[in-house]
């Protein structure tokens, strides 16, 4: 196959995220919807005579060749299963903000597994890579396929769903990040029983975009607002500028707004760009 090999690693939003309760293992039981979007990182894979090398040109803080890097962890797990394979250089180009609730690290990890599977022609595919993905994090199994999916358990049990209609989005990421454990541990999450997920799925089959936008829900949103009040202001501004709906994405702090059209999304984005704040215009992808 032609080398080097390049793969996109898309970000995600969660139109619905329900926290159902605390599990005996210390994690939270979730019911959430995943949707990939066009904002993405790029991973390039090049053969080496031996060894594993990682590069991330212009790496943002928190991305480096250490033990916490999910790309390296994914590669080490894969190559541990296939020690006879030759070396590889993995180069990551980051576009997705770090610690933003957009799943960038999880997507990079899944794309690393998929890229190595393709490069070394091991033929595992998404199903064969699932066990490795689950070892890397709750969101990683979703990114093996992407698109639209239901997540249950800790979020790692994935059920693919029919694609949502194309939706134009504005993403606003405050300068400050939010660690996921702090959001879950704040005691501010709202617990629900799965009804928000069911309602959204019913509306997605029958109704238009405005109905979907009105059924967005995130049980972690009160915690994000309490820890970083700027996120509440961003959501309010998005709605005041005509977004059909707005929601904190995942554990935050990114807030996404649903626009009526690409031009509407660009108009909102221009008004919200301020120093230290990152704003993206993007769209859902199948």
Quote the Cα angle for 251-170-62, to 5°.
Answer: 45
**Is 66 a residue of the active site?**
no
Distance of CA 46 to the CA centre of its chain: 25
Instruction: Single out the catalytic residue among 139, 168, 173, 235.
Output: 139
How much of the chain is helix, strand and coil, in % rounded to 5? 35, 30, 35
* DSSP codes, 212-245: HHHT-EETTHHHHHHH-THHHHHHHHHHHTT-SE
Distance of CA 2 to the CA centre of its chain: 29
Indicate the Cα dihedral angle 265, 266, 269, 275, nearest 10°: 160
Closest alpha carbon to 257 in 269, 243, 242: 243
**Is 263 a residue of the active site?**
no
Beta bridge partners of 37: 284
Instruction: Single out the catalytic residue among 12, 94, 173, 235.
Output: 12
| Cα–Cα distance, 268 to 234 (Å, whole number) | 11
Residue linked to tokens 């454990």: 181
The SS3 of residue 166 is coil
Alpha-carbon distance values, 232 to 39, 47, 148 (Å): 23, 47, 26
Annotated catalytic residues are 12, 139
């Amino acid at each position: 196959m032609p080398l080097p090999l390049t793969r996109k690693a898309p970000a995600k939003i969660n139109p619905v995220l329900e926290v159902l309760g605390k599990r005996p293992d210390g994690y939270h039981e979730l019911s959430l919807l995943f949707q990939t979007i066009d904002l993405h990182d790029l991973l390039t894979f090049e053969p080496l005579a031996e060894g594993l090398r990682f590069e991330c040109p212009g790496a943002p803080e928190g991305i480096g060749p250490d033990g916490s890097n999910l790309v390296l962890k994914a590669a080490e797990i894969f190559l541990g299963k296939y020690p006879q394979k030759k070396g590889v250089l993995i180069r990551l180009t980051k576009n997705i903000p770090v610690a933003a609730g957009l799943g960038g690290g999880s997507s990079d990890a899944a794309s690393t597994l998929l890229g190595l599977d393709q490069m070394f022609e091991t033929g595992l595919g998404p199903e064969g890579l699932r066990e490795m993905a689950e070892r890397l994090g709750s969101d990683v199994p979703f990114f093996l396929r992407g698109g639209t999916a239901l997540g249950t358990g800790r979020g790692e049990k994935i059920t693919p769903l029919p694609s949502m209609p194309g939706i134009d989005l504005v993403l606003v990421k405050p300068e400050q990040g939010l660690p996921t454990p702090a959001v879950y541990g704040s005691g501010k999450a709202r617990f629900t029983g799965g009804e928000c997920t069911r309602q959204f799925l019913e509306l997605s089959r029958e109704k238009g975009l405005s109905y979907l936008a009105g059924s967005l829900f995130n049980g972690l949103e009160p915690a994000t607002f309490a820890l970083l009040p700027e996120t509440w202001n961003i959501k309010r501004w998005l709605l005041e500028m005509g977004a059909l709906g707005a929601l904190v994405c995942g554990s935050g702090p990114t807030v996404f707004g649903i626009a009526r059209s690409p031009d509407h999304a660009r108009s909102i984005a221009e008004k919200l760009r301020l120093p230290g704040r990152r704003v993206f215009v993007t769209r859902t992808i199948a």
